[in-house]
Amino acid sequence: MKPISEAHVAQPGLAVVEVAACDDQTAFAVQELLAGRWATAPADRTTRAPGEPGVRLRCYLDVRQSIRS
């Protein structure tokens, strides 16, 4: 994965979430749960690191913008 950009965490309420999971389905399920609560820039794919178990997924959140009321 690329390094986290300063712009992604430049203000309070912005967050970068990295998910480690056993498979794509689990990683995307976690992302979907986050997106159901906050404004999210979702990932469209996971990555695999050689020699490491499972998959990784990174998404960007703005917790200032709650989807639920």
pLDDT at 58 over 60: yes
DSSP labels for the chain? Answer: -PPPPGGGGSSTTEEEEEEEESSHHHHHHHHHHHHTTEEEE--S--B--TTS-SEEEEEEEEEEEES--
Q: What is the pLDDT of residues 3-41, one digit of tens each?
A: 777 766 678 989 999 999 999 999 999 999 999 999 999
* pTM assigned to the model: 0.80
Provide the residue ranges of all domains of the chain, joining segments of one domain with +: 10-66
